[in-house]
Each structure stands twice: as C-alpha cells, then as structure tokens.
Amino acid sequence: MNGYRKVVICIIEMLLDKIKEDELLKSGDIQNFITNEFTIEIFDKAQEIKIYDTYITILEDEFKKDSSSKWISSDAYVLITLQKHTHFKTHEVKLLQEEFKKLLKENDEGIDQENFKQILYRIFPNEQEQKIHLDSLDFGKMFKVFDLDDTGYLDFK
C-alpha cells in the first residue's frame, strides 16, 4: 500500500473521530479542523503506520455500512452532505428520505431501480419543470451510482 493511501486513511479516521466528538455543522468547520490539525508531522506519522490491505477492506466495509445506515437520519451533517452531493433542497432531501423509508417497509429486499424512479417522481409531483427534467434522465445510469455492489438494490454507501 502506498504512503498516500495511509495518509488519507489517517486523515479520514481523525476527521471521523472529530465529527463523533463535536458536531461539525458547516463545511467551514471541517475546513478549519483540517487546516489546523493536519500538519507535516501528522503526514509523516501516518506514512509510518503499518496498515495492511485486509485491515483497509475491513475499514472500508465498516464505513460503507455506517454511512448507508446514516443517510436516512435527519442529522444536520447528513442533510448538508446530501444537499451538496445531490443538489436537492433540504425539503427535497427530507421527502426523499421519507419516501425511501416508506418503500423499504413495503419491500424487505430493498429499493430496486423501478422503486428508485418512483421515489424521485413522488418527490416532484406538482412541479412540471422537474418532471420534464426527470423524464430526460437516464435512471439506469443514476441507479448504478447508488448500487455499488451490483445487487440490483440501492446501497447508499
């Protein structure tokens, strides 16, 4: 494993620890933390850490599991992150979360591509411009972004 990957993992672990301790509500809080905490000494120490690929896989799986279960929470950090990545407004993200929860209760296996499409159309039932935009989207390609393990169901990892 190269040194850069070790540094990135170290940074992520430090950032996750900080997020668990204090709520970093704004992107500026995260930026200040990174600017103040990540020094040359930290990078040097991180490159000396003995991390093995099996351990990396375990950490990645834990992160995916943790993040996939958190995405439906109403935590401020989760909402901000979802807004940033989806370009949806807060109320749209909350609607998406609610629709996802409803559909998941009805379907134990998970949300498939057709369910995903239904959710998006339910979020924008009265906005004609949004419907026109949704009609132009490639749902298969969009769905694949959220189906990382190719199971045919949303992962949100």
- 124, amino acid identity: F
Contact at 8 Å (CB) between 154 and 146? yes
State the pLDDT confidence band at 127, using cuts at 50, 70 and 90: low
Q: How far apart are CA 82 and CA 94, in angstroms?
A: 10
Give the residue with greater pLDDT, 116 vs 18: 116
Is the pLDDT score of 103 beyond 60? yes
- 85, amino acid identity: H
Q: Do 46 and 87 sit in the same domain of this protein?
A: no
pLDDT (average), residues 96-121: 81
- Domain residues for the domain of 12 are 3-51
Q: How many domains does the chain have?
A: 2
Q: How far apart are CA 91 and CA 126, in angstroms?
A: 14
30, part of any domain: yes
Q: How far apart are CA 157 and CA 144, in angstroms?
A: 12
71, part of any domain: no
60, part of any domain: no
33, part of any domain: yes
Rounded to the nearest 10 degrees, the angle between the axes of helix 139-146 and helix 113-123 is 110
